[in-house]
Amino acid sequence: MTTTPSFEQHCIEPACRSRYDLTEPIYVCPRCAGLLDITWTHAPPHDNYTLRALWRARTTSQAARDRSGVWRFRELLPFARDVSIVSLNEGNTPLYDATRCAAYCQIDSLQLKHQGANPTGSFKDTGMTVAVTQARVLGARLVACASTGNTAASLAAYAARANIACAIMVPTGQVSHAKLAQALDYGAKVLEIDGNFDSCMREIRELSEDGLIYLVNSINPFRIEGQKTVAFELAEQLGWNVPDHLVVPGGNLGNSSAFGKGFRELFALGLIKRMPRISVVQAVGAAPFASYFSEFIQRPDEATFVDEPHPHTLASAIKIGAPVSWPKAFRAVYETGGQVLTVSEQEIADAKAIIGSDGIGCEPASATTVAGIKKLSSAGEIRADETVVAVLTGHLLKDTDYVNKYHTNSLVDDDGQAIVDRYGNPPLRISGGRDQLRDVLARLAM
């Protein structure tokens, strides 16, 4: 398979800027260890009007590469036209109006881009379809990742579709049952390691250096290429406008990096007129990026990124202390005038229940967004009349243990602190027969 000559891999470090062919299976710059971006050497050979019409027309096609919400934007993806894609019809996710969430955040309106509506229930699928397609292009025999659960579930599914062996490394006892169940069912070899996500990540990165595995964590720039298409889809859903604010949860920081890249490309092509402010929200116990950002704002010359050695949060998806993509995420936030902030375990749990009460729901990590928007709005950083989109990254059913505990007032955080069920909705045990039932139903109908 030949790759299109108009794309290349490119070190993001200003002092290096080395360039590499797309077929080189590298994850960071071999010269300086900087992160890699995939960039185009010349823009796609279409005018913007044609591109918009082409992308829109594909939504009514039956062809697999058109039905995918990632591959329908293929003019901006680094592959040959005839590449054999690995797809599960990912993308094309809904953008919901959430009135209860808006009221909770004291703003006029709030839209939720629900990436939990992807085939394996998280945003990872939009990146994985591209990374596993590249694995196929390179002839990889084994794909692998470290994961807090969603990357594992997604990779397991796409590797199965591609018929490529798959190994995933997870921290023992720290991944939700639902995510683990997905990976097992899709046939991945699950390797449970003592330690946390960061130790799994370190281990697998070192193991990837001799070429035994093809690593598909978000340090792999092909993952970011897939995830950037969510920015395209969102802009399209908003009539080729952007919101004033886009708010994303932050863990390993691939997703925020991808949104930055996606919107930057649309802006460079003239498909949008301005950039949204991209803000990242972290759980307070796993917030090395927020610490760095606030230090940078105060003392830009002295700020250094310090990993969090003991990350902790009940939002297990973002329990990460050494995020690999932070320089790209920093670029996305800083260039767009966004913020990086933290929210408490209680704030996450309450925001999650409010998102549920809108009939939408999400997993705990995703709810950092609404909790963060409430904080930004109270601080006057978001005005009531501004347009705001929160990205929900995972499906409600990814972590039902958390949900049931919250609604039955038995959720306790990692420090032993009880989470109060402020918006709890516990089940009601009916022991008084038909009379009690009628009574309860009559009150509900009032």
Of the pair 87, 393, the CB lying nearest ligand F0G is at 393
Of the pair 137, 315, the CB lying nearest ligand F0G is at 315
Q: Tell me the three state secondary structure of residue 113.
A: strand
- Stretches 33-41, 159-167, 249-257, 262-270: which one binds ligand F0G (CB under 6 A)? 249-257
Of the pair 86, 216, the CB lying nearest ligand F0G is at 216
CA distances from 28 to 79, 133, 178, 203 (A): 20, 19, 32, 15
93 in contact with ligand F0G (CB under 6 A): no
Binding residues for ligand F0G restricted to 202-241, rule: CB under 6 A: 218
Cβ at position 46, least distance to ligand F0G in Å: 30
Report the side by side order of strands in the sheet with 214-215. Answer: 189-193, 165-171, 142-146, 214-215
Cβ at position 373, least distance to ligand F0G in Å: 16
Residue from 111, 126, 208, 252 binding ligand F0G (CB under 6 A): 252
Dihedral-angle region of residue 202 (phi above 0 means left; psi in -120 to 50 means alpha; beta otherwise): alpha
Exposure of 191 by Cβ count < 10 A (0-12 exposed, 13-18 middle, 19+ buried)?
Answer: middle
Of the pair 275, 317, the CB lying nearest ligand F0G is at 317
Of the pair 9, 366, the CB lying nearest ligand F0G is at 366
Handedness of CA 436, 441, 443, 444 (dihedral sign): positive
Cβ at position 170, least distance to ligand F0G in Å: 8
- Stretches 30-38, 248-256, 263-271, 294-302: which one binds ligand F0G (CB under 6 A)? 248-256
Binding residues for ligand F0G restricted to 375-394, rule: CB under 6 A: 393-394
Residues 205, 215: Cα–Cα separation, whole Å: 8
Cβ at position 234, least distance to ligand F0G in Å: 16
369 in contact with ligand F0G (CB under 6 A): no
Q: Which residues pair with 142 in a beta bridge?
A: 165
Of the pair 121, 271, the CB lying nearest ligand F0G is at 121
How many CB atoms are located within 10 Å of the residue 1 CB?
13
Structure tokens at 97: 């109006």
H or E element, residue 7: strand 7-11
Residue from 129, 133, 150, 196 binding ligand F0G (CB under 6 A): 150
Exposure of 318 by Cβ count < 10 A (0-12 exposed, 13-18 middle, 19+ buried)?
Answer: buried
149 in contact with ligand F0G (CB under 6 A): yes
90 in contact with ligand F0G (CB under 6 A): no
Exposure of 427 by Cβ count < 10 A (0-12 exposed, 13-18 middle, 19+ buried)?
Answer: exposed
Residues 108-147 as x/- pattern, contact with ligand F0G by CB under 6 A = --------------x-x----------------------x
250 in contact with ligand F0G (CB under 6 A): yes
Contacts of 350 (CB under 8 A, 6+ apart): 371, 422, 423
Cβ at position 311, least distance to ligand F0G in Å: 11
Q: Which residues pair with 40 in a beta bridge?
A: 7
Total binding residues toward ligand F0G, as defined by CB under 6 A: 22
Residues 228, 217: Cα–Cα separation, whole Å: 15
Task: Please give the residue ranges that form the binding site for ligand F0G (CB under 6 A).
Answer: 122, 124, 147-151, 218, 249-255, 317-318, 363, 365-366, 393-394
